[in-house]
A and B are shown apart, each in its own frame.
Chain A
């Protein structure tokens, strides 16, 4: 079975540019999570969706960050404009009824210069 797919795996951009990270959850999963991982702050939950609807976005840092889930098989996390402090690894995870655990993607390493 294919796991959670994230793209790109690495992204290097310049301050002020728009960045879009993509996630394809495991087929059949109806909950999707976006996390950010940094050395300083560890693993932070940014937002999560149930059945394509945002349930909790209290972890989204500021208005520069936005996330969408237009359908059950695709989600995006957008940063506009990007800043150097956004440099981190961003993970997507999915799960569904019948599971307790979340299944993580490989992450996108974002570097903002």
Chain B
């Protein structure tokens, strides 16, 4: 079955540091890939997505590239801010049909200190 593995947290960084959160996946089809962010006390929000190999999703300074050869979708940001402190979830939706089910990783807690 489908699965998503993301790096264990928590991750603690100083402001303006470089961020990488690793995500790898297994899927039976040709999935779409997502990063969701959950700020304290809120629901999940879509951060970025990519639907085919070599696509780069980007938003709010975050980027992730769909790497089919390594089945990865690592999240990066060049300079984090305190306001980026949140839980980040990698997810996939397998291809085809009317199945809109997402498979999520366990989440990575990021804390950014001033």
| Interface pair A101/B101, CB less than 8 Å apart | no
Q: Which of B42, B100, B102, B104 has the most CB of A within 10 A?
A: B100
In the A-B complex, the 8 residue pairs with the smallest Cβ-Cβ separation, listed nearest first, are A104-B43, A104-B44, A100-B32, A42-B106, A31-B100, A101-B46, A106-B43, A95-B100
- Say whether A106 contacts B42, CB under 8 Å: yes
Give A56 Cβ to nearest chain B Cβ, in Å: 7
Can you list 14 residue pairs at the A/B interface with Cβ under 8 Å?
A4-B43, A31-B100, A33-B100, A33-B101, A42-B107, A43-B104, A48-B100, A97-B98, A100-B49, A100-B51, A102-B100, A104-B43, A104-B44, A107-B42
Chain B residues close to A by CB (< 8 Å): 32, 34, 36, 42-46, 49, 51, 89, 93, 98-102, 104, 106-107
B89 CB contacts on chain A under 8 angstroms: 43
Q: Which of A43-94 contact B (CB under 8 A)?
A: 43, 45, 48, 50, 55-56, 91, 93
At the interface, is chain A mostly helix, strand, loop or mixed? strand
Which positions in A face B, CB cutoff 8 Å?
4, 31, 33, 42-43, 45, 48, 50, 55-56, 91, 93, 95, 97, 99-107
CB distance from A24 to the nearest CB of B (A): 14
Instruction: Tell me the complex Cα distance, A56–B98, Å.
Output: 13
Chain B residues, CB < 8 A from A33: 100-102
**B104 touching A100, Cβ below 8 Å:** no
CB distance from A46 to the nearest CB of B (A): 12
